Amino acid sequence: MNHPAIEQPADIVARLRATFAAGRTKPVEWRTGQLRRLRAMLTDRGADLAAALHADLGKSRTEAYRTEIDFTIREIDHTLDHLEQWLRPEPAPVPAHLGADATAWTQYDPLGVVLVIAPWNYPAQLLLAPMVGALASGNAVVVKPSELAPATSAVLAELIPAFLDTDAVAVVEGGIPETTALLAERFDHIFYTGNGTVGRIVMRAAAEHLTPVTLELGGKSPVFVDQGADLEVVADRLVRGKFLNAGQTCVAPDYVLTDPSTAAALEPALVRAVEALFGTDPAASPEYGRIINERHFDRLLALLGSGRVAAGGASDRATKYIAPTVLADVDPSSPVMQEEIFGPILPIVAVPGLDEAIAFINDRDKPLALYVFSESKRTRGRLAAETSSGGLGYGLPLAHLTVSDLPFGGVGESGMGSYHGRYSVETFSHRKAVLDKPLG
Ligand code: NAD
């Protein structure tokens, strides 16, 4: 624990605010220095983080590095490479009535003290990647890891103060009471990743102080598989995306929409793909993760009755294992289709065709991601134009969020605001309008 008895949220925020007010976090050299320290933390102590991620989620070392540690290092490197360019004032054309000598530009100002609240599913990446943006933008930052990934939370609480400027960066561990206490303080921005229910709590608390928020939420991300798509490729990529981290990924393919004959052909292809990736007994595969806790395990188990089990279905509560599972013949009104699955269950819902698939997507909350497997330009174009989602992936789930120059974020129920790369600087800065009319 982070000595809650010694330093209360109000004291932490006051301390960080004093640092910010003194101007310490503003120079680009401080920002890049902190990013290099964070990079050193990840290279020197990556093994500690990987071990914690294994303890919390059964993540393999490969997966921990790929999706959390190296992912964050890439985000840091991309930011270090481009930060000065992103921060450059941008000239704006001046209207004639202000005279030919007037100039105008925008300048990026840090916001002040920002709060980052992270979830448990990628408990390192989803805390550190927003922090990269907050530091790069010259802010002081309080980070709150998820209490549901306690090993990772403890390692972050130990390492962050050991590597970063403790007058400007603070880690507060804890659950609902600690987060509630933090949210009573005035921050200059709150960046929350998690579910929409808590997102609303965060936004209400932020409203008290007129604090802007970024909400990175979730929802059911659909997959559309078109007739004629190469189903071996589709199945391989779907299985890799869906069952990464045992399905506990905010942008995981949630369910598949396809026509009945493609559904029938896709089913055995998915069975083969699961076996190719995890073997006949995924419980024995070192690459396959576990469910975060018993509450989520029980929630997921109750969804297995929503369709015919085409692959997987096995589970073990003692080890929180649920096999990579494909459910066929799933009715849209069944329980598995009512909420974000956030686990290793992939339902296939048959629809007559593209029109019905588009209507199906638009009848529901705007998803964080939509994935489309189709060679048809017209089909791809229609899905892009006629649906709304945080991101859109053709042919490969999840991968759009690894493109540092793309904004990552949701729309509607899947969230508001975005980050990664220069979009993090947009999020964690104020774009100040400046006009200069010479006195002479
Ligand atoms: P979680 O339970 O770890 O909660 C997230 C954070 O909210 C934690 O730090 C927790 O302490 C805090 N919290 C919980 N209850 C609170 C309360 N009453 N008041 C204040 N703070 C509270 O994670 P979760 O919400 O179960 O995460 C899963 C959800 O997050 C899924 O919906 C998933 O799609 C979404 N998600 C989105 C993204 C994204 O980038 N858009 C990434 C990962 C997860």
In tens, the pLDDT along 50-77 reads: 999 999 999 999 999 999 999 999 999 9
**Ligand 1 neighbourhood includes 252 CB (under 6 angstroms):** no
Q: How many CB atoms lie within 10 A of CB 302?
A: 11
* Same structural domain, 282 and 138: no
Compute the average pLDDT of residues 80-92.
Answer: 97
What is the pLDDT at residue 440?
82
* Same structural domain, 39 and 77: yes
Minimal CA–CA distance to 304: which of 294, 293, 315?
A: 315
Whole-number Å distance, alpha carbon 192 to ligand 1 midpoint, is: 8
Distance CA 43, CA 260 (A): 49
Kindly write down the DSSP assignment for every residue of 360-402, as one continuous string. HHHTSPPPSEEEEE---HHHHHHHHHH---SEEEES-SSGGGG
- The complex's ipTM? 0.94
**Ligand 1 nearest-atom number relative to CA 122:** 43
* Same structural domain, 50 and 166: yes
**Ligand 1 neighbourhood includes 293 CB (under 6 angstroms):** no
* Same structural domain, 299 and 227: yes
* Token pair in block for residue 178: 């600690």
* Same structural domain, 195 and 291: no
Cα 98 to chain centroid, rounded:
45
Question: Is residue 407 assigned to a domain?
Answer: no
**Ligand 1 neighbourhood includes 106 CB (under 6 angstroms):** no
* Same structural domain, 202 and 290: no
Question: Is residue 2 assigned to a domain?
Answer: no
What is the pLDDT at residue 401?
95
- Of residues 7 and 200, more confidence is placed in 200
Question: Is residue 112 assigned to a domain?
Answer: yes
Whole-number Å distance, alpha carbon 355 to ligand 1 midpoint, is: 34
**Ligand 1 nearest-atom number relative to CA 147:** 11
Whole-number Å distance, alpha carbon 395 to ligand 1 midpoint, is: 28
Question: Is residue 366 assigned to a domain?
Answer: yes
In tens, the pLDDT along 201-224 reads: 999 999 999 999 999 999 999 999
* Same structural domain, 89 and 232: no
Amino acid identity for residue 362 in this structure: N
**Ligand 1 nearest-atom number relative to CA 148:** 3
Cβ atoms of 127 and 145 within 8 Å: the answer is yes
* Same structural domain, 373 and 256: yes
pLDDT at residue 6 above 70? no
CATH number, domain containing residue 243: 3.40.309.10
Whole-number Å distance, alpha carbon 251 to ligand 1 midpoint, is: 14
Average pLDDT, the chain: 97
Q: Which residues contact 21 (CB under 8 A, 6 or more apart)?
A: none
CATH number, domain containing residue 426: 3.40.605.10
pLDDT at residue 3 above 60? no
**Ligand 1 neighbourhood includes 48 CB (under 6 angstroms):** no
Q: State which residues form the domain around 148.
A: 9-217+414-436
Give, using CA atoms, the residue closest to atom 6 of ligand 1: 119
Compute the average pLDDT of residues 262-287.
Answer: 96
Question: Is residue 90 assigned to a domain?
Answer: yes
* Token pair in block for residue 272: 């083969």
With tokens 């798509």, the residue in question is 229
In eight-state DSSP terms, residue 215 is: E
Question: Is residue 131 assigned to a domain?
Answer: yes
What is the pLDDT at residue 1?
44
**Ligand 1 neighbourhood includes 201 CB (under 6 angstroms):** yes
Cβ atoms of 240 and 396 within 8 Å: the answer is no
* Same structural domain, 81 and 129: yes
Whole-number Å distance, alpha carbon 169 to ligand 1 midpoint, is: 21
Give the total number of structural domains in the chain.
2
* Same structural domain, 344 and 390: yes
Question: Is residue 142 assigned to a domain?
Answer: yes
* Same structural domain, 201 and 302: no
Compute the average pLDDT of residues 324-352.
Answer: 98
Catalytic residues: 216, 250
pLDDT over 70 percentage in the chain: 99
Question: Is residue 4 assigned to a domain?
Answer: no
What is the pLDDT at residue 4?
46
**Ligand 1 neighbourhood includes 148 CB (under 6 angstroms):** yes
* Same structural domain, 212 and 226: no
